Amino acid sequence: MTDLGLFVERAKGSEYFSGAQLAGDLERFLAEHGARCRALGRKLQGAEHLYLVGSGGSLATLQTAKYILDGFLVVPCEALHGYDLIWRNPLQLGSTSVAFFASYSGDTEDTVAALRFARERGAQTVGIVRGGDSTIAREADDVIEYGSAAIFEVPIAALALVGAGLAEGSSTEGASAQVASALSEVPAAVQAAVDEEEGRAEERARALLSSRHLYVLGAGPLAPLAYKVALTVVMENIRIGATWCDASEFRHGPAEALERTQVDALVLLGSDESRAMTERTLAFLQEHGARTQVIDAAAYPPVHPLLTPFLLNPITQWFTVWSAILRGITDLDERVFMGRSVLATEGHTWP
């Protein structure tokens, strides 16, 4: 095995490359915690407003969950980062609200501050954490511990199931049950996609190896994943510049950059109604000389259109693994600044 092959094999065991173990982690979570999540949703029936609070990659996770929940819950739902909840000081936040706080460590500074703010306002609080002793696990009214590195997918699944419990007995129960049932099909689809992508990930990465800045585009349920990949993956792991843009918004300004700039883009294509608009944007990019890599949900085993982020996140990780290793970044869990109390106060690490 070459040195590159050894680095790739090591990456499969890293916390970053959660997709390598995702099928088993997600299947185990659904089996062990699915019923409890739905029961929690039933317990929370009567809530008049939901807040989904997290920072960094967790914010993208919660934006994805909101996209799913908005399809079958009549209860208003909002996804925002921790300090935004405090700064907005929304009038609706109170005893009739439920606030969910997602944090892999359970000690993210801004998320902990928001949790305490919500408790002061009388809201019911639910923590979604990896597990172990943490501030959020200790201070939230209810806690969902998922016990794996699946920081993106498992919290989304947990919230979809909580939402299914909230919807039980309502006019939208059928739609919520459909999504909950479709979740059971995701682990097998993910495993097949991850195995298939292994053979072409290096080629994808080499095609954009000279890139110093990467646009990441997605729309519909894939827009939050594109945001996550640009802001908390490309810059964090590949350590080049990145710009996130909703594929449907590219024509409203960013398109003008193609007149004078060489654009490199990673484009996420879904299977929902947003696909046609993303294809239009992709065609425009290619017609004007952009170098593109397309990650298309249609190339992998089918899943419910709202659940395509589960399928494509591990594929973007394959791209990142090879892109980082080919640039000499061989430890995907090591950080230069993060985790060393950069931009943090009161003893918090970041994130």
At residue 199, the pLDDT reads 92
**Given pLDDT bands bounded at 50, 70 and 90, which one contains residue 349?**
low
Question: Taking 90 as the threshold, does the pLDDT of residue 229 lie above it?
Answer: yes
Considering the entire predicted model, what is its pTM?
0.94
The mean-pLDDT minimum among 41-50, 75-84, 222-231, 324-333 falls in 324-333
pLDDT at 341 over 80: no
pLDDT, average across residues 106-118? 96
Please tell me if the domain spanning 18-184 has the same topology as the one spanning 190-326.
yes
**CATH among 3.40.50.300, 3.40.50.880, 3.40.50.10490, 1.10.10.60 for 18-184:** 3.40.50.10490
Looking at the predicted structure, is the pLDDT value of residue 343 above 80?
no
CB 42 within 8 A of CB 149: no
CATH architecture of the domain formed by 190-326: 3-Layer(aba) Sandwich (3.40)
Q: CB atoms < 10 A from the CB of 219, how many?
A: 26
Domain boundaries, the chain: 18-184, 190-326
* 15-24 mean pLDDT: 94
Find the distance separating the first CA and the last CA of the chain, reported in whole Å: 35
Provide mean pLDDT across the span 43-61: 96
CA distance 294 to 265: 8
**Residue with structure tokens 């990467």?**
214
CB within 8 A of 185, min separation 6: which ones? 303, 304
Write the pLDDT tens digit of every residue in 248-287: 999 999 999 999 999 999 999 999 999 999 999 999 999 9
Q: What whole-number percentage of the chain has pLDDT above 90?
A: 88
pLDDT of 350 over the 60 cut: no
How does pLDDT run across 307-331, given as a tens digit for each residue? 999 999 999 999 999 999 999 998 8
pLDDT, one tens digit per residue, over 67-109 is: 999 999 999 999 999 999 999 999 999 999 999 999 999 999 9
